[in-house]
Amino acid sequence: MDLFTYYRSTSSYRVRIALALKGLAFDAIAVNLIRDGGEHRQPDYLSVNPQGRVPSLRLDEGAVIIQSMAIIEYLEELSPEPALLPAGLLARARHRQVAALIGCDIHPLHNVAVLNRLRDMGHDDGDVTAWIGHWITEGFTAVEALIGESGFCFEDVGLADVYLLPQVYAARRFNVDLSAFPRICRVEALASQHPAFRIAHPDAQSDKPE
Amino acid sequence: MDLFTYYRSTSSYRVRIALALKGLAFDAIAVNLIRDGGEHRQPDYLSVNPQGRVPSLRLDEGAVIIQSMAIIEYLEELSPEPALLPAGLLARARHRQVAALIGCDIHPLHNVAVLNRLRDMGHDDGDVTAWIGHWITEGFTAVEALIGESGFCFEDVGLADVYLLPQVYAARRFNVDLSAFPRICRVEALASQHPAFRIAHPDAQSDKPE
């Protein structure tokens, strides 16, 4: 499998964690979102992913899956063990609701395209920073209420953690204050010691600039 | 089951379609997002859904699931037939990637909270309309490339259609030009004749104002 990825893309980072937790081998193909106006906007990449975003997963037979949620659910069905979702239906829903909250209501509001649009509308760095902080703080307030009191989000590592850690990375990058979220910070500390999260981290990617 | 819903909420509409396609009975509990500053922000509702958004699904045993994607995947696992997702792994991923593209990269950018935030930042109705049109048009350009050339999104009705129809409804409501998207308009026309999409439509909801 080939994963089209960018080292600090939140959604690429999710897929890297899922692949690492499942022990699935892949070739990383870097797509630089900055260089030359963005390699994701070039015809070569648009022929892989018509939305022009990362990540994309190209299977050995050539088919491409886009959108991190679709990719991760595919990996869970392709290679069920170790599982990202527990067995019980309600327990599975608890993981998916945290994943969806982060994947729909936090991250899309501060991706590169949205921040560029805000700048095009005349907003300065201060406005953009406030915008990012607002959505991460509001979303994390709900996540903090939804996750458990020990271990990973729901004790054993799973889908909710696959989503939470990249979002925490983005929050740190944008200097969002996380002191009101002790459960989230507990999960962050635990994951920092876990090999799958370490290998998937932006700092461990070969396309990270020197 | 109780569904906390608002008639023209895009994500509530999705869940109503999924319930109708599966023939699952539920009690609709209206949450008015406009009245009294928004019933979704009141303590009664926050005790149901700490994120303070619709929809929420309360199961008979009292547990609550939030986030439309988590609710719909739960319903698919609870009541597998009729299926929203086909049997093949890649075919399932094709439905989920359209659902995720709409649910992550289109709808969250024009929900009530985001539009209110833009107004608070000094933007007028013209700016807000342009913002909505930009994200729907960009997202639908990718959706148009991803879906098939006949029938529903992928011939038989499924998850991609559950997401697409509410997004088309929102696009019409905001006067977005859809003439460049013949495949999407084909699916819209087909769904307009389907009983599950009709019963779930905002115009058919008892909480729609006279």
Please report, for the domain that includes residue B141, its CATH number.
1.20.1050.10
Distance from CA of A197 to the nearest CA of B (A): 23
Give the dihedral sign, CA B47/B159/B26/A76.
Answer: negative
Q: Domain boundary residue among B40, B58, B82?
A: B82
Q: Is residue A210 part of a domain?
A: no
**pLDDT tier, B143 (very low <50, low <70, confident <90, very high otherwise):** very high
Residues of B in contact with A92 (CB under 8 A): 73-74, 77
Q: Is the pLDDT of residue B36 over 90?
A: no
Interchain proximity B142–A51, CB inside 8 Å: yes
Please determine, for the modelled complex, whether the ipTM score is greater than 0.90.
yes
Q: Where are the alpha helices (DSSP H) in A57-191?
A: 68-78, 89-105, 112-120, 125-146, 159-173, 182-191
List % helix, strand, coil for chain A (3-state, nearest 5).
Answer: 55, 10, 35
Interchain proximity A89–B105, CB inside 8 Å: no
Interchain proximity B74–A90, CB inside 8 Å: yes
Mutate to test the interface with B, among A15, A59, A97 (most CBs of B within 10 A): A97
Q: Domain boundary residue among A82, A97, A128?
A: A82
My answer on whether B97 and B163 are in the same domain is yes
Ordered per-residue pLDDT tens for chain A, 210 residues: 999 999 999 999 999 999 999 999 999 999 998 888 889 989 999 999 999 999 999 999 999 999 999 999 999 999 999 999 999 999 999 999 999 999 999 999 999 899 999 999 999 999 999 999 999 999 999 999 999 999 999 999 999 999 999 999 999 999 999 999 999 999 999 999 999 999 999 999 999 998
pLDDT at A35: 85
My answer on whether B59 and B116 are in the same domain is no
My answer on whether A189 and A97 are in the same domain is yes
Q: What is the DSSP letter of A169?
A: H
pLDDT at A36: 80
Q: Residue B132 sits in which domain range?
A: 89-197
pLDDT at A149: 97
Across residues B77-88, what is the average pLDDT? 98
Domain count, chain A: 2
Distance CA A32, CA A9 (A): 10
Distance CA B50, CA B33 (A): 15
Q: What is the DSSP letter of A155?
A: B
Distance CA A39, CA A112 (A): 13
The answer to whether A26 touches A1, Cβ cutoff 8 Å, is yes
My answer on whether A10 and A45 are in the same domain is yes
Look up tokens 């819209």; give the residue: B188
Q: Is residue B193 part of a domain?
A: yes
Q: Is residue B127 part of a domain?
A: yes
- Nearest residue of chain A to residue B77 (CA atoms): A89
pLDDT at A117: 96
For B15, the 3-state DSSP assignment is helix
For B154, the 3-state DSSP assignment is strand
pLDDT digits (tens, 9 = 90+) for B151-195: 999 999 999 999 999 999 999 999 999 999 999 999 999 999 999
Interchain proximity A74–B89, CB inside 8 Å: yes
List % helix, strand, coil for chain B (3-state, nearest 5).
Answer: 55, 10, 35
Which helix or strand (DSSP H or E) is residue A30 part of? strand A27-30
For B5, the 3-state DSSP assignment is strand
Question: Which residues are bridge partners to B64 per DSSP?
Answer: B58
In this structure, chain B runs to a length of: 210
Residues of A in contact with B74 (CB under 8 A): 89-90, 92-93, 96
CATH number for the domain harbouring residue B10: 3.40.30.10
My answer on whether B103 and B169 are in the same domain is yes
Q: Is residue A204 part of a domain?
A: no
Cβ burial of A129 (10 Å; 0-12, 13-18, 19+) is middle
Distance CA B32, CA B41 (A): 10
Closest Cβ opposite residue A67 in set B52, B100, B109: B100
pLDDT digits (tens, 9 = 90+) for A149-158: 999 999 999 9
Interchain proximity A97–B70, CB inside 8 Å: yes
Q: Is residue B161 part of a domain?
A: yes
Interchain proximity B127–A108, CB inside 8 Å: no
My answer on whether A19 and A97 are in the same domain is no
Q: Domain boundary residue among A35, A63, A82?
A: A82
Distance CA B153, CA B98 (A): 9
Distance CA A114, CA B121 (A): 15
Mutate to test the interface with B, among A4, A10, A24, A51 (most CBs of B within 10 A): A51
Q: Is residue B162 part of a domain?
A: yes
My answer on whether A93 and A47 are in the same domain is no
Q: Is residue A208 part of a domain?
A: no
Interchain proximity A101–B51, CB inside 8 Å: yes
pLDDT at B35: 85
pLDDT at A202: 98
Among left, alpha and beta (phi > 0; psi -120 to 50; other), residue A163 is alpha
Distance from CA of B12 to the nearest CA of A (A): 15
The answer to whether A89 touches A55, Cβ cutoff 8 Å, is no
My answer on whether A188 and A118 are in the same domain is yes
Distance from CA of A210 to the nearest CA of B (A): 31
Distance CA A61, CA A54 (A): 20
Q: Is the pLDDT of residue B34 over 90?
A: no
Distance CA A95, CA B206 (A): 32
Q: Is residue B27 part of a domain?
A: yes
My answer on whether A115 and A157 are in the same domain is yes
- Nearest residue of chain A to residue B90 (CA atoms): A74
With vertex at residue A154, the alpha carbon angle to CA B73 and CA A10, rounded to the nearest 5 degrees, is: 70
End-to-end, the C-alpha distance of chain B in Å comes to 27
Distance CA A191, CA A147 (A): 15
My answer on whether B130 and B66 are in the same domain is no
My answer on whether B58 and B96 are in the same domain is no
Task: Give the pairing type, strands B2-5 and B56-58.
Answer: antiparallel
- Nearest residue of chain B to residue A124 (CA atoms): B121
My answer on whether A128 and A52 are in the same domain is no
Interchain proximity B93–A70, CB inside 8 Å: yes
